Every structure is written in C-alpha cells, then in structure tokens.
C-alpha cells in the first residue's frame, strides 16, 4: 500500500505527477493516449495509479515507451564509464548500480523527473523490523525475504564499486562520504531502496527480436542463484505506475521491436483504474514483493511445508539426505524438494487437485515399513503418489504441527481482525499498525488453508483410501506436480 508516508515530499505529490507527465510527453517517441491520466490514489492506499478519463476499447494503445527511455543498463552512460563489465553483476545488481548512478546525478539525470514520482519508503518485508516480522508467525515467507544475502551482495559487489568511483557516485542526502561504517550503512540503505524499486516496479526486458508479452517474474529476493537465466531488468516509466488487481486486470505490456506498448486487454469504462497483472501470487508473496495485500488475492494463498517440518513429524532425526536413506532414495529419483506448497482448495477441489505429487510420494516413503523400504531401495524405486489413510494420518499430524507453530489460532486471529478492522483497512492504517494488519491477513490465509486441507483429509481417515487404478496402484494421474 502506498500512502503519503512512502513518498519524498508528499506535499508536492501532484506537482511531481504533472512534471513527470510533461517530461514523459517531451521525450521523443513517447505516445500517451489522452484518454488516460495519472491519478492520486493515496486515499485508498494505492499511491499513484493510471485511470481512464473516457472509455477505452479493447486492444487500444494506452501508451508507448521507446526502448531507449527504459531506465536500464543498456541505456545508461554508466556502462561506458565503468570497468569491469556491468552486466557481469547480473540483472539485479547491475540495474541497482545504474539506478544509484542516475539517482546520484540528481537533476542531471535523464530520469530525474521519473525518480521524483517513485517512492522512497516501502512496506515490503525487507524493511520490516524483527518485531513486525514476528507477526507473520510460522509463515514460510519469513525465510524467503533474503535480507542477509542481499546485504552481503550489496556490501561485496556494490559498495566497493561506489567507493572506488566517488566522481560517478557522489554521496547524496547530505552524507559527506560513503567511507567507513556509517558510509556503508547509508549506501546499504540507498541500495535497498533501489533494490525494492526493482522488485516492485521493474520489468524483465526481452530482446527486441523476441517480441513477447510482458514478463513479470516472481523471483524471491533481489538476487537469486540462477541469474544467468534471467533477462535484464529495466524500469519502464509510466508502465510501472499501474497498480495491480487480482480480478480486474485490464491492460498488458507488449514488448515490441522499438517500443514497449501498454494496451487495453478489455473494454475500460470512463473513471475505471487501469490494472496490470502481478500474477496469481499468494498474499504472503504480494507482501514480500510489493508491500501490500488485498483481500482478492486470498484465493491464491498457500501453506508451505518445509522438508524439515515433514521429517520432524515423521520421526526422522533430521532432513539430511546423506543421513536419511528414505530421503536419499527420493533424491536419487529426483522427487525430493526442500518445501511443498499446498494451495487454497477451490470450492470443489479434491486432494488430487491440491497436493503436490512429490509431497504424496514423500509421505508414502516415510510410511513404508522397514521391509517395504528395503525392497524399494533395492529396486531404486520410490512408491507411487498414493493417498491412503496412513499417508493422510501423517499429513494430518504434519498440518497440526504446522498449525501449532503459529502462536495463535485462526479463531483468535479472526476475532483480532474484526476488532482492528476499520473501514478500508489496511489503507486507513499507517506504519507499524498497517504492517501488523497485513501480517494478520497473511497468517489468517495460511491457517485457513491448513484448516481446509485438514477437513479434506477427514473422509480418507475414516474410509481408508482413494480410488485405486486397475493395476492396484493408487490413481496418481491427477496429483499436481508442483515444486517449490
Ligand atoms: C508498480 S508500482 C505501482 C505504482 C505505485 N502505486 C506508485 O504510486 O508508485 C507497485 C506498487 O504499487 C502499490 N500497489 C499496486 N497495486 C496496488 C493495489 N491494488 N492496492 C494498493 N497498492 C497497490 C504497491 O505499493 C506496489 O508495491
């Protein structure tokens, strides 16, 4: 959620929007359909957004941004000023460095008017205090924030480059220098601002030849292990001022040869907000990456069980593949995961629809008697993903143990929510209160998923097994193949 508190100089909010639009329209090649405008949506907690001034037809172009206006490594003069190769830093860190460079240039940057409409404070989980994070209780999202790794990457890869080039990166915000611990801390904070902007605003930029639809991926922290496979990232002015809505996506960015073009993918009525698509992400991820939650993303909530959670309840002393032959068998057959995601069941969903096949295989393997396991091991063949009462019973225990890891019950949380919920919350809340409210909504969603799955296990626990196939193996055709 973006309120005034997220923007520098909120009293000039409208002026900054006007200046940004004037700058944009003055740039060669930019086209902005007069039927759209930039709106002040702070009263709903959504910062800036794009709204239709008059009705727009499906397929109509909303705006077009030439590729050379994207704030990206390939368009920044830093590329020619720095040794070594910027791209070698990977998509996140290279763009972070470019943004630090352009931001430090102040009004001399081509993107100065753009920086002025971007927020400087965020509610993404990277910025939450330990006390605020505790409100997320046992949510698996807490382990995905990646703050420590991001700090290390910035300190190792960004700080030395900035310090070695003080002429390119003059200290900002009245800081005398980036030397020493205090300098490093200031730079770290500024780099996190850029990292958070990249996380919530940047697009993956495809090469012109591969013209394709908008790709807005779902990486975990600022940096991930598979950077080689990632496309370069870029900040696309105006395209990134569209908010998102799980049910009202009506626009999409098309990456064309010369330009990136935002088009209406539905008829849009006068006064309607224009929404991009952030994908089907659970509220925990929405919060981690975008710093807000809305109720209509609750349909995508999940519960994530770690391998450790499962092994502990199954009575294994640890979850190390080297010391646990049952895990070793699964690993050797490439069906072992670190974590297992169970989505919120849709109204008529079955266990087949929601349980990842790999989880069911793990449960089955853990339920084998020593003799059965030895047989499987000698043939190097894990069991098929069959859900019978024995696996259901183990899964129930695992879910109950997970439930117990949260410090409060669903009923208590629901009561708390109704006592706290002012109209339009959490938009009406600020600061830590808003964060606590959002954490409450996330953990409620996860507890609801646990409760729903527990209820779905009940018939299996009383009846014995799911339908079996003709060969006697349980019918595994529909188990989801989902990996974390
Ligand atoms: C790509 S930006 C969109 C522009 C942003 N509203 C601004 O003022 O700069 C993404 C950020 O917008 C906010 N946002 C997006 N969709 C939202 C929504 N439906 N409700 C509230 N905030 C939203 C979140 O803070 C998110 O991190």
Structural domains of the chain sorted by starting position, each given as residue range(s) with its CATH number in brackets? 12-209+230-274 (3.90.1410.10), 301-464 (3.90.1420.10)
Contact in structure between 247 and 272 (CB atoms under 8 Å): no
Q: In which band, very low, low, confident or very high, does the pLDDT at 208 lie, cut at 50, 70 and 90? A: confident
Model pLDDT, residue 467: 44
Distance, CA 125 to ligand 1 centroid (Å)? 15
Residue 422 has pLDDT above 70, yes or no: no
CA distance 285 to 301: 9
Q: What is the mean pLDDT of residues 210-231?
A: 56
Distance, CA 244 to ligand 1 centroid (Å)? 7
Q: In which band, very low, low, confident or very high, does the pLDDT at 431 lie, cut at 50, 70 and 90? A: confident
CA distance 384 to 473: 7
Contact in structure between 203 and 240 (CB atoms under 8 Å): yes
Distance, CA 413 to ligand 1 centroid (Å)? 26
Phi, psi of 457 (to 5 degrees): -80, -20
Contact in structure between 273 and 49 (CB atoms under 8 Å): yes
Residue 445 has pLDDT above 80, yes or no: yes
Residue 157 has pLDDT above 50, yes or no: yes
Q: What is the mean pLDDT of residues 29-56?
A: 96
Q: What is the mean pLDDT of residues 399-428?
A: 86
More confident residue, 87 or 58: 58
Query: How distant is the alpha carbon of residue 425 from its chain centre?
Result: 22
CA distance 263 to 284: 29
Model pLDDT, residue 174: 84
For the record, the structure tokens of 355 come out as: 């349980």
Residue 446 has pLDDT above 50, yes or no: yes
Residue 345 has pLDDT above 90, yes or no: yes
Rounded to the nearest integer, the mean pLDDT of the chain is 90
From 187-196, 399-408, 457-466, the region with the lowest mean pLDDT: 457-466
Contact in structure between 284 and 406 (CB atoms under 8 Å): no
Pocket of ligand 1 (CB under 6 A): 1-2, 45-49, 119, 200-201, 240-241, 243-245, 290-292, 294
Model pLDDT, residue 398: 98
Q: What is the mean pLDDT of residues 44-59?
A: 96
**Burial profile 57-96: b = 16 or more Cβ within 10 angstroms, e = fewer:** eeeeebbbbebebbbbbebbebbeebeeebeebbbbbbbb
Distance, CA 38 to ligand 1 centroid (Å)? 13
Residue 210 has pLDDT above 60, yes or no: no
Q: In which band, very low, low, confident or very high, does the pLDDT at 221 lie, cut at 50, 70 and 90? A: low
**Of 416, 356, 392, nearest in space to 466 by CA:** 392
Distance, CA 241 to ligand 1 centroid (Å)? 7
Cβ contacts of 20 within 8 Å, gap of 6 or more: 38, 113, 114, 116, 117, 237
CA distance 171 to 178: 7
- Quote the DSSP letter at residue 205: P
Residue 456 has pLDDT above 80, yes or no: yes
Model pLDDT, residue 85: 79
Give the three-state DSSP class for 274.
strand
Query: How distant is the alpha carbon of residue 26 from its chain centre?
Result: 34
pLDDT tens string 374-410 = 999 999 999 999 999 999 999 999 999 999 999 999 9
Residue 423 has pLDDT above 70, yes or no: no
Residue 480 has pLDDT above 90, yes or no: no
Model pLDDT, residue 429: 76
Model pLDDT, residue 8: 84
Atom of ligand 1 nearest to the CA of 124: 27
Model pLDDT, residue 220: 60
Residue 73 has pLDDT above 60, yes or no: yes
Q: Which of 5, 7, 44, 46 to mutate to test the pocket of ligand 1 (most atoms within 8 A of CB)?
A: 46
Phi, psi of 158 (to 5 degrees): -100, -50
Model pLDDT, residue 471: 36
Residue 362 has pLDDT above 90, yes or no: yes
CB atoms within 10 A of CB 397: 13
Model pLDDT, residue 427: 61
pTM: predicted TM-score of the whole model, two decimal places:
0.90
Percent of the chain predicted with pLDDT > 90: 81
CA-nearest residue for atom 25, ligand 1, is 1
What value does the CA radius of gyration of the chain take, rounded to a whole number of Å? 25
Percent of the chain predicted with pLDDT > 70: 89
Q: Which of 200, 429, 434 to mutate to test the pocket of ligand 1 (most atoms within 8 A of CB)?
A: 200
Distance, CA 227 to ligand 1 centroid (Å)? 26
Atom of ligand 1 nearest to the CA of 200: 27
CA-nearest residue for atom 27, ligand 1, is 290
**Burial profile 185-203: b = 16 or more Cβ within 10 angstroms, e = fewer:** ebbbebbbbbbbbbbbbbb
Cβ contacts of 172 within 8 Å, gap of 6 or more: 103, 104, 106, 190
Contact in structure between 461 and 389 (CB atoms under 8 Å): yes
Distance, CA 247 to ligand 1 centroid (Å)? 15
């Amino acid at each position: 959620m973006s309120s005034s508190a997220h923007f520098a100089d909120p009293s000039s909010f409208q002026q900054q929007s006007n200046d940004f639009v004037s700058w944009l329209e003055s740039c060669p090649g930019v086209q902005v359909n007069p039927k759209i405008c930039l709106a002040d949506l702070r009263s709903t907690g959504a910062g800036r957004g794009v709204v239709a001034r008059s009705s727009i037809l499906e397929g109509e172009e909303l705006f077009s941004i030439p590729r050379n206006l994207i704030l990206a490594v390939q368009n920044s003069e830093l590329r020619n000023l720095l040794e070594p190769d910027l791209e070698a830093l990977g998509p996140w860190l290279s763009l972070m460095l470019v943004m630090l460079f352009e931001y430090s240039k102040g009004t001399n940057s081509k993107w100065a008017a753009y920086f002025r409409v971007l927020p400087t404070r965020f509610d993404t989980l990277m910025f939450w205090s330990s006390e605020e994070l505790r409100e997320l209780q046992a949510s698996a999202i807490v382990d995905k924030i990646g703050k420590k790794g991001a700090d290390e990457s910035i300190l190792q890869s960004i700080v030395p480059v900035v310090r070695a080039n003080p002429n390119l990166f003059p200290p900002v915000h009245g800081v005398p220098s980036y030397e020493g611990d205090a300098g490093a801390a200031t730079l770290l904070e500024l780099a996190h601002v850029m990292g958070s902007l990249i996380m919530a605003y940047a697009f993956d930029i495809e090469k012109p030849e591969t013209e394709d639809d908008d790709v807005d991926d779902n990486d975990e922290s600022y940096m991930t292990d598979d950077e080689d496979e990632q496309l370069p990232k870029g900040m696309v002015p105006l395209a990134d001022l569209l908010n998102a809505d799980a049910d009202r996506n009506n626009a999409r960015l098309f990456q064309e040869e010369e330009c990136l073009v935002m088009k209406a993918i539905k008829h849009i009525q006068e006064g309607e907000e224009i929404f991009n698509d952030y994908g089907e992400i659970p509220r925990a991820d929405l919060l981690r990456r975008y710093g807000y939650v809305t109720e209509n993303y609750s349909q995508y909530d999940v519960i994530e069980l770690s391998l450790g959670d499962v092994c502990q309840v199954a009575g294994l002393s640890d979850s190390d593949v080297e010391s646990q032959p049952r895990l070793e068998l699964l690993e050797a057959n490439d069906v072992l995961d670190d974590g297992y995601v169970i989505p919120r069941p849709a109204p008529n969903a079955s266990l087949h629809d929601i349980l990842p096949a790999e989880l069911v295989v793990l449960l089955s393997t853990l339920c084998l008697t020593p003799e059965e396991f030895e047989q499987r091991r000698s043939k190097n063949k894990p069991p098929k993903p069959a859900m019978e009462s024995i696996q259901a019973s183990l899964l129930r225990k695992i879910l109950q143990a997970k439930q117990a890891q949260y410090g409060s019950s669903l009923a208590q949380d629901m009561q708390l929510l109704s006592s706290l919920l002012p109209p339009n919350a959490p938009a009406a809340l600020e600061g830590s209160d808003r964060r606590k409210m959002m954490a409450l909504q996330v953990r409620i969603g996860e507890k609801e998923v646990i409760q729903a799955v527990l209820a779905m296990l009940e018939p299996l626990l009383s009846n014995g097994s799911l339908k079996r196939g003709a060969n006697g193996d349980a019918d595994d055709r529909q188990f989801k193949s989902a990996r974390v």
